[in-house]
Structure 1
Amino acid sequence: MTIERDGHVLLIGLNRPEKRNAADFAMLQELCLAYGELDRDPELRVGLVFAHGDHFTGGLDLGDVAPRIGANGLDLVPDGGLNPWQVEGEFQRKPVVIAVQGMCLTLGIELALASDVVIAADSTSFGQIEVQRGILPFGGATIRFPRAVGWGNAMRWMLTGDSFDAAEAHRIGLVQEVVPHGTQLQRAREIATRIAAQAPLAVQATLANAREAIRDSDARAEQQLQPELVRLAASEDAAEGMRAFVARDEPSFRGR
């Protein structure tokens, strides 16, 4: 795993290219720790997940991970970490942009589904292949895939384990943009930087309210709209946004 800070963006790189970035237990824990750092550090506003090499991920390294599945499943989050697949009741509070290329299997799709903006190289081949291995997707695909792309589209790919290309991923709404191979990280970085330039409290509140609507209900999210508006309107960032609007220049938000 590589970790790099670019201003307010945390770049998280899967770095096991000799294994097609198949995730062993060590990689899973490192990814959890990176997400924990992103969540805790007030200077970080956006996460950007990408992969070194030709492939995003070949999925789990089952030879290393399978023996660690105990009576209660797979315990992979170390102290200070946060589950990147967000299937344990705790959400990453900051937006995550993800750039994928080459092979993107199983946990790679689920990581995309748990992220907020997905950029795919036109080389990307996707596959939710767990049923071909005798298990089920346990990183959130059964929950998020139907919501994201519609029931029939999700079941077409989850129940067969068939592979599909970037054009199909874009058609069904799994990814937001398809770009030429080799440019996916640059494009994802542009979007992450653009998000990081906005008022962080407002970005996080927007993200949280949208997630609350999906996770709980529209009614619960609606109840939070006016209180959140009042809270944000009293912030220094809201004053800065108004100042920049009147002065017709770019705001400089500080997350306060």
Structure 2
Amino acid sequence: MSNNSVSNYLTIDRDGHILLIGLNRPDKRNAMNEAMLQELAAAYRQLHDDAELRVGVVYAHGDHFSAGLDLADIAPKLAAGSLDTVAGGLDPWGVQTEQTAKPVVLALQGYAYTLAIELALASDVVVAAESTQFAQLEVARGIMPFGGATLRFSRLGWGNAMQHILTGDTFDAREAHRIGLVQQVAADGEQLATAIEVAAQIARNAPLAVQASLASARAALTDYEGARAQLAPTAAGLAATKDAARAAESYLRGEPIPFEGN
């Protein structure tokens, strides 16, 4: 593993084809101010643009993933219409810009409030420590979710979404797993290792096929017929790539998948 950079509020490390993005404001329970949001957007841009990177893992230093917004910094800018959370990066929540083309695996622990839930909804696989606490509590603060909860949460079921968005209640990892917000519940302290294991499994597969599958699944959420129409031509294009040829040769020879180190 190599350390790529340390910013004010994040750590960035590379582990082969995996980009590890660590929220690093533990003294504030990783509450997100404008600068931290901009740094996270820059990290997602790096994941998106770097051809050597195949998957991202987002986790947090300290006891909590994130207590949500740092309202002391965010609220005045939000009210003034001057909030800039992207600053040339790629919006991790996929609201202001396109999403990264690479899969993102999330590892949660402690508090996973407001924007943390919305980041989970925008991610592709979510692992939560057993004691993680969730709350979509913007309405209790006089604002509304603006990181995508109103757009995506209802995909998990209208009643599930409205119960948590409109009440601002706190719920646990088992409930998050039951409604589909979380894909795996890990023992406390094991959430990052589990997330990296999932990411490594993704990274061992053909990167073009992974990205095409992710793009097709996302497209189907908003344009099912358009996504359906693209299945055959996209599959044909992938079948003509060197990746597919290498995989077929390896299969016929009974050899391991050829993508792990390339």
Cα distance in structure 1, aligned partners of 2:238 and 2:84 = 37
- Pair 1:93 & 2:101 matched: yes
Superposed, 1:208-247 pairs within 5 Å as 208-215=215-222, 217-247=223-253
- Partner residue in 1 for 2:5: none
Cα distance in structure 1, aligned partners of 2:74 and 2:261 = 39
Question: What root-mean-square deviation, in Å, do the aligned CA atoms of Structure 1 and Structure 2 show?
Answer: 1.5
Note closer, same or farther for the CA distance 1:62–1:181 as it changes in structure 2 (3 Å cut).
same
Superposed, 1:26-105 pairs within 5 Å as 26-69=35-78, 72=81, 74-79=83-88, 81-105=89-113
- Pair 1:111 & 2:119 matched: yes
On the 8 A contact 1:125/1:166 being kept in 2, the answer is: yes
- Give the secondary-structure state (helix, strand or coil) at the position aligned to 2:185: strand
Could you tell me the TM-score, scaled by structure 1's length? 0.96
Unpaired stretches in structure 2, ≥5 consecutive residues: 1-9
Deviations 1:174-214 (A, max 9, x none): 00010110000000000000001100000000000011010
On the 8 A contact 2:58/2:107 being kept in 1, the answer is: yes
- Give the secondary-structure state (helix, strand or coil) at the position aligned to 2:56: strand
The partner residue of 1:159 within 155, 160, 166 is 166
- TM-superposed CA distance for 1:88, in Å, is 2.1
Cα distance in structure 1, aligned partners of 2:207 and 2:123 = 17
Cα distance in structure 1, aligned partners of 2:180 and 2:257 = 32
Cα distance in structure 2, aligned partners of 1:6 and 1:26 = 25
The partner residue of 1:251 within 242, 253, 257 is 257
- Partner residue in 1 for 2:198: 191
On the 8 A contact 1:237/1:255 being kept in 2, the answer is: no
- Pair 1:24 & 2:33 matched: yes
Cα distance in structure 2, aligned partners of 1:128 and 1:64 = 19
Deviations 1:42-88 (A, max 9, x none): 00000000000110000010101122225546321112x10000012
Note closer, same or farther for the CA distance 1:73–1:175 as it changes in structure 2 (3 Å cut).
farther
Deviations 1:103-128 (A, max 9, x none): 00000000000000000000100000
- Partner residue in 1 for 2:132: 124
Cα distance in structure 2, aligned partners of 1:218 and 1:28 = 32
- Give the secondary-structure state (helix, strand or coil) at the position aligned to 1:159: helix
On the 8 A contact 1:202/1:232 being kept in 2, the answer is: yes
Q: State the one-letter code of the partner of 1:56.
A: F
The partner residue of 1:174 within 158, 181, 184 is 181
Unpaired stretches in structure 1, ≥5 consecutive residues: none
Q: List, as ranges, runs of 4+ consecutive aligned residues in structure 1 with deviation greater than 4 Å.
A: 70-73
- TM-superposed CA distance for 1:249, in Å, is 1.6
On the 8 A contact 2:20/2:57 being kept in 1, the answer is: yes
- Partner residue in 2 for 1:14: 23
Aligned residues: 253
Cα distance in structure 2, aligned partners of 1:5 and 1:206 = 24
- TM-superposed CA distance for 1:130, in Å, is 0.2
Cα distance in structure 1, aligned partners of 2:157 and 2:80 = 33
On the 8 A contact 1:117/1:175 being kept in 2, the answer is: yes
- Give the secondary-structure state (helix, strand or coil) at the position aligned to 1:212: helix
Cα distance in structure 2, aligned partners of 1:170 and 1:16 = 26
Cα distance in structure 2, aligned partners of 1:78 and 1:254 = 34
Cα distance in structure 1, aligned partners of 2:188 and 2:260 = 35
Give the fraction of aligned pairs with identical amino acids, expressed as a percent: 60
Deviations 1:96-149 (A, max 9, x none): 0000000000000000000000000001000000000011100000011011x2
